[in-house]
């Protein structure tokens, strides 16, 4: 014959444990998904920075080359420092919760200026944010494109 155990003190303990553990599990899931999103955004920034540095080292507009590969809302900065080009891309990471703090990722790429491209000391910096204009009162300087050296190809 089967003996039934009378209802004891542990009745409903699974429900209480689930109610306490489920929010922690959901928070861990959101943090993990946000981390994966940050890694993907960082990879996109690195790709865009490499494109910008390579294009600028060949005398083209690096910011325009990077804008085709940047994540949404990214800011591209291309500078020429002596015989090298430094491209930096910074992009915000979309958090999967509206109350989570905003984070941004940055990637930088450096390329040597190609032979035959005129050295332009004091070349202006170009900062762009694709899809958005600069805030009021903030000037976005223009970029000059280096012309080939005289007697070059």
The pLDDT assigned to 136 comes to 34
Please list the pLDDT of the chain residue by residue as tens digits (153 residues): 676 666 656 667 788 788 888 998 988 998 888 889 999 999 999 999 999 999 999 988 888 888 888 888 899 999 998 889 999 999 998 877 667 678 899 999 999 998 877 544 344 444 454 444 333 333 333 333 333 334 433
> Diameter of the chain by CA atoms?
105
The pLDDT assigned to 30 comes to 85
Distance CA 83, CA 112 (A): 6
The 3-state DSSP class for residue 13 equals helix
DSSP letter assigned to residue 117:
B
Residue 54's H or E segment, with its range, is helix 13-57
The 3-state DSSP class for residue 125 equals coil
The pLDDT assigned to 17 comes to 82
The pLDDT assigned to 3 comes to 67
Quote the tokens at residue 5.
């155990």
For residue 118, which of 142, 90, 91, 152 has the smallest C-alpha distance?
152
């Amino acid at each position: 014959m089967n003996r039934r155990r009378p209802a004891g003190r542990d009745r409903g303990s699974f429900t209480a444990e689930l109610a306490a553990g489920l929010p922690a599990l959901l928070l861990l899931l959101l943090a993990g998904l946000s981390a994966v999103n940050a890694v993907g955004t960082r990879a996109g920034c690195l790709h865009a920075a490499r494109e910008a540095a390579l294009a600028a080292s060949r005398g083209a507009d690096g910011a325009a080359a990077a804008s085709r590969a940047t994540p949404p809302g990214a800011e591209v900065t291309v500078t020429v420092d002596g015989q090298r080009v430094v491209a930096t891309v910074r992009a915000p990471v979309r958090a999967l919760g509206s109350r989570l703090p905003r984070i941004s990722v940055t990637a930088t790429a450096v390329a040597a200026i190609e032979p035959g491209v005129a050295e332009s000391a004091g070349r202006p910096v170009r900062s762009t944010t694709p899809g958005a204009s600069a805030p009021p009162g903030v000037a976005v300087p223009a970029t000059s494109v280096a012309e080939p050296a005289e007697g070059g190809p």
